[in-house]
A = this chain, B = another copy of it.
Amino acid sequence: MAEQDKAVADLAEQVEQVVLGEDGKPLSKKALKKLEKEQEKKRRQEERLAREAAERAAREAAEPDVAVGMYGRAPLNMSQTRTDTVWTEVKDLSEAMVGQTVNVQARIQDSRLTGGRMCFLVLREHAATVQALVQADDVAVSRKMVRFADSVPAESIVSVTAEVVRPVETVKSCTVGSVELRVSKLFVTSEVVRQLPFSIEDASRSEEDCEANPALARVALDTRLDGRVVDLRTTPNNAIFKLQHAVCQLFREYLVRQGATEIHSPKIISTASEGGSNVFQITYFKRHAYLAQSPQLYKQACIAADFGKVFEIAPVFRAEDSNTYRHMTEYVGLDLECAFREHYHEVMYMIGEMFVYIFRGLEERWAHELAAVRRQYPSEPLKFDDKPLRLEYKDAVALLRGAGVEIGDFDDLSTPQERLLGELVRKEHGTDFFMLDKFPLAVRPFYTMPDPTDGNYSNSYDFFLRGQEIMSGAQRIHDPALLKERIRAFGIDAAPLEDYIRAFEYACPPHAGGGVGLERVVMFYLGIPNIRLASLFPRDPKRVDP
């Protein structure tokens, strides 16, 4: 549009412009006049405020600053120097330190300016918070420094020198409430330069709190996961991943004491060996390969190689287009496999004991983290016995039928049936954890050993936690002839399984094992509502970011 045309168009628009009132109707002449006056008044007021702000800024800039060099933005840490500075962790601050000067590195979780001379900060380091006060005293701390402290965006990291003092009253909103910090130096070491996707406070709130006060912001799951780096900073999330770590550590501790060897089996495999569907395909140089759905065949190969007892903690991949609260396309498998002497119950009971060791260990050694998670996701402590309950599949079917469920002897359990079974078992046996043994052969993988007395059943088991399956396992077929027979019966192509079968042709001890989903154990143990919350950076059919 040429400049002249634009001027004409603007004019036309002006002529047509009619001011509408709040009711949507054109204003009267009188009302119009009143509106103009109000607008003029507002304009003048804004001008005055701007003028005053500029004057204040000039005055403040001119103010003598007693705190020069005691606050500001620190230069980027490129490891310029290594001093002997002693740093105190926020969690370690205590009344015993009152009167001492400490150095602390922490995030500013919150700041509040009071009357221009005082700025209250909440400093957070990992899960610990403490109140800090920057107070102008015209001796060491200036009003400029107070304003600077208040201007630092929340979640920025500061390094602070401060005196530990007794607060007027216990600071209930902080984990360290018996002391506060009187700040004498404050430097920003890493500054937030982008709008946070949500506040730490909003992300830490329980469902109960949200329901009690609908005005409070709720952070949706996808928002959390999109801004996962910030989300993971909340105390409950820090605790969830400490507990995930704890489950792995306890799993290993127990198995290492049993003489098991940790293995690392390949994730890139040549053929979609375990049944075929649900595997991701990779472009592997000039051919295709696949991502392992489990270390099943390899951990068995290790048994055939006389490793005795093996375990592995590693990612497993499932190309399953399931968009549920408990499925992911990549998760962490805790796998184990053990040769036995006579009976697969040697292994099954050992695994049962292992879980008791894990549950007990979480309660005893990670009570602090459990409590932190329960503040956001309330759950009852797990009920379990030292010697875990074993039920047979047919007992489960009877229990369900007793509760009015129609189910065939050899039908697989649906998820709602599993949940109901969990409730029934809890009611009858008072436990949230049990082993369900002797599954129907037809609902288990081809390599499952049939029951020796009734071919409809098998030497296989699932373990349940709060009515949800956390582990599946079995005695495996170690006899190549029977294995081939079962492969034929399943109508599976034996060719890709040639290496697998061969391992047994070289002779292999009888063995049993199982596979545990790490995130499922964490999720059901803690009673958190979605498996994605138990995975650092979850993957599902729709999510591969961040």
Contact = CB atoms under 8 A, between A and B. Distances in A.
B194 A537 contact: no
Identify which of A228, A282, A506 gathers the most chain B CB atoms within 10 Å of its CB.
Answer: A506
A233 interface: yes
Nearest to A155: B507
Nearest to A76: B479
B190 A537 contact: no
A378 interface: no
Interface of A: 76-83, 85, 87, 105, 107, 125-126, 155-157, 189-194, 196, 228-233, 237-238, 241-242, 244-245, 248-249, 252, 256, 261-270, 280-285, 289, 291, 298, 301-302, 304-308, 313-315, 317, 319, 321, 329-330, 332, 341-346, 449-452, 459, 475, 478-480, 482, 499, 502-510, 518, 535-539, 541, 544-546
A78 B459 contact: yes
B507 A192 contact: yes
A267 B267 contact: yes
B330 A268 contact: yes
B306 A81 contact: no
A264 B248 CA distance: 11
Contacts of A284: 280, 319, 329, 544
Contact of A283 (B280, B313, B508): B280
A55 B419 CA distance: 69
Given A155-B507, A499-B546, A82 B342 contact: yes
Contacts of A242: 261
B265 A536 contact: yes
A351 to B, nearest CB: 15
A298 B538 CA distance: 12
Contact of A79 (B319, B342, B508, B544): B342
Given A241-B261, A341-B85, A449-B79, A536 B298 contact: yes
A285 B540 CA distance: 10
A342 B267 contact: no
7 contacts: A76-B479, A82-B343, A105-B509, A196-B506, A229-B502, A281-B283, A314-B314
Given A76-B479, A105-B509, A301-B546, A345 B82 contact: yes
Identify which of A79, A267, A332, A538 gathers the most chain B CB atoms within 10 Å of its CB.
Answer: A79
Given A194-B505, A544-B289, A546-B499, A344 B79 contact: yes
A230 to B, nearest CB: 6
Contacts of A306: 107, 125-126, 232-233, 238
Given A244-B262, A280-B282, A285-B541, 4 more contacts: A79-B343, A245-B263, A268-B329, A282-B282
Given A194-B506, A537-B266, A537-B298, A304 B229 contact: yes
Nearest to A316: B267
Given A261-B241, A342-B85, A507 B301 contact: no
Contacts of A80: 452
Given A82-B342, A155-B506, A305 B192 contact: no
